[in-house]
Amino acid sequence: MAKILVIDDNTELLDLLRVLLEQRGGHQTVLSADGTDGLLQALADPPDMVISDVMMPGMSGYEICRQLRANPSTASIPIIMLTARGQSVDHQAALDAGADDHMVKPVDAEELLQRVDDLLPQKEHIEPEEPPAPTRTLVLLSLRGGVGVTTLAVNVAATLAQAGGKAVCLADLCSSSGHAALQLGLRPEPNWSGLAQADIPTVDAIEAHLLQHKSSLRVLASPVFPAVGLGLSKRATLTTMRVLKQQFTTIIVDAPAVLNEAAMAVLETATVVGLVVTAEPPSIQTAVGTLRALKQWSEKFQVILNQVAPGPQLPQGALERALKRPLVGTIPFDPAQARALAQGAPLAISNPGSPLAQAARTIGSQLLALGNQ
């Protein structure tokens, strides 16, 4: 939208041009029925464009043009001159006075709008940019430990960061032990315990607490030693998530295995929650209880089966019946995982073709795509 000053002593035409430029062109107009007044208006508050009649009592359109060109604040404003049919105005005379274009009345509506568009600075031509895609937050959760939440979080985050082009953050909000950093071969210093000191962490403090992995992945680690007290408060967690959402397009959260303030806050901000289960009765029982306790977010939940141990598994149908929902995917047991853990080199990066890395990639993108809907 541009602000266009229209100067013409024919008030009827002035009104027609106003309707055309505002309603069809989507511009804002300023009208003047007098040459001198029009010039003063342009000098007082320079518009984006001037459309002016040539023959007017008092000051002519030529004179307006010359004066606008002579004034630094209006020298580069595009000017279109309009003349009534039969007036002996030379197209060249309009250009010589400093106009950019000249049209004969009655002006064709489409043509005028086209010429207005052609003359407006480039930015007016650029299609409005696609609004940036909202940040997707995938929270991985299990209230039973040892089922592979951290392994999945690390591998999904590492896959995305490895693919490049996306700003990805892995937030390990577990109460202690810094396992996400461990799996990535990073020392978990600093970690979120530094953010728990302040009631509301600042943007700078949050940025300063993010570790940099050698892929583009940024990591908010958890402390190795258990944080004494409540850990990250609801308020501090919400602030942290809000700040991370400004900076990253994807956030993967390794959620605590307890429903503390940080867990509840992060579930609130989640786009999608991946509930990780193993095919053992205690894990399934925990998952059923978790789904029941968190039924306010039931829609966000997707269940992922992880095979942390080799050997025969409970049949998928039995698991789905117990959970009363389908599994979104299965991560097979991968003997290479033990070595990847020991080396601090997640399979998603060190061995992208491994079964675990492939499954993490597929399930990760499936869950994040669900979050897009």
DSSP string covering 39-64, please?
HHHHHHS--SEEEEES--SSS-HHHH
* Shortest distance, position 179 Cβ to Mg ion, whole Å: 5
Pick 134 or 335: Cβ nearer ligand ADP:
335
Q: Which does 41 bind (CB under 5 to 8 A by kind): Mg ion, ligand ADP, none?
A: none
Pick 52 or 137: Cβ nearer Mg ion:
137
Contact pick of 185, 264, 333, 344 for ligand ADP (by CB under 6 A): 333
Binding mask 111-140 for ligand ADP (x = CB under 6 A): ------------------------------
* Shortest distance, position 173 Cβ to ligand ADP, whole Å: 12
Pick 179 or 361: Cβ nearer Mg ion:
179
Pick 150 or 358: Cβ nearer Mg ion:
150
Contacts (CB under 6 A) with ligand ADP, residues 256-315 = 306-308
155 binds ligand ADP (CB under 6 A): no
* Shortest distance, position 323 Cβ to ligand ADP, whole Å: 17
Contact pick of 146, 226, 315, 326 for ligand ADP (by CB under 6 A): 146
Contact pick of 14, 158, 173, 331 for ligand ADP (by CB under 6 A): 331
Burial class (CB within 10 angstroms; exposed 0-12, middle 13-18, buried 19+) of 137? buried
Binding mask 11-50 for ligand ADP (x = CB under 6 A): ----------------------------------------
- CA–CA distance from 112 to each of 5, 52, 251 (Å)? 14, 13, 49
226 binds ligand ADP (CB under 6 A): no
238 binds ligand ADP (CB under 6 A): no
284/280 Cα distance (integer angstroms): 6
Nearest to 173 by CA among 197, 151, 141, 145: 141
Determine the size of the site formed for ligand ADP (CB under 6 A): 18
DSSP, collapsed to helix, strand or coil, labels residue 222 as: coil
* Shortest distance, position 213 Cβ to Mg ion, whole Å: 17
Neighbour order of strands in the sheet with 301-306: 211-212, 218-220, 168-172, 250-254, 136-141, 272-277, 301-306, 327-331
* Shortest distance, position 230 Cβ to ligand ADP, whole Å: 21
93/81 Cα distance (integer angstroms): 10
* Shortest distance, position 228 Cβ to Mg ion, whole Å: 20
Contact pick of 41, 142, 191, 269 for ligand ADP (by CB under 6 A): 142
238/253 Cα distance (integer angstroms): 13
Residue 103, phi then psi, degrees to nearest 5: -135, 150
* Shortest distance, position 215 Cβ to ligand ADP, whole Å: 19
CB count in 10 Å sphere of residue 211: 20
Contact residues toward Mg ion (CB under 5 A) are 149-150, 179
356 binds ligand ADP (CB under 6 A): yes
316 membership: H or E segment, kind and range: helix 316-323
Q: Which does 162 bind (CB under 5 to 8 A by kind): Mg ion, ligand ADP, none?
A: none
283/270 Cα distance (integer angstroms): 22
Q: Which does 308 bind (CB under 5 to 8 A by kind): ligand ADP, Mg ion, none?
A: ligand ADP
Nearest to 112 by CA among 256, 6, 249: 6
* The one segment of 98-106, 120-128, 213-221, 330-338 that binds ligand ADP by CB under 6 A: 330-338
Q: Which does 331 bind (CB under 5 to 8 A by kind): ligand ADP, Mg ion, none?
A: ligand ADP
Q: Is the peptide bond before 134 cis (omega within 30 degrees of 0)?
A: no
288/323 Cα distance (integer angstroms): 6
289/1 Cα distance (integer angstroms): 55
239/195 Cα distance (integer angstroms): 10
58/362 Cα distance (integer angstroms): 75
* Shortest distance, position 141 Cβ to Mg ion, whole Å: 10
Amino acid, single-letter form, for residue 68: L
Q: What is the binding site for ligand ADP (CB under 6 A)?
A: 142, 145-151, 179, 306-308, 331, 333-334, 337, 341, 356
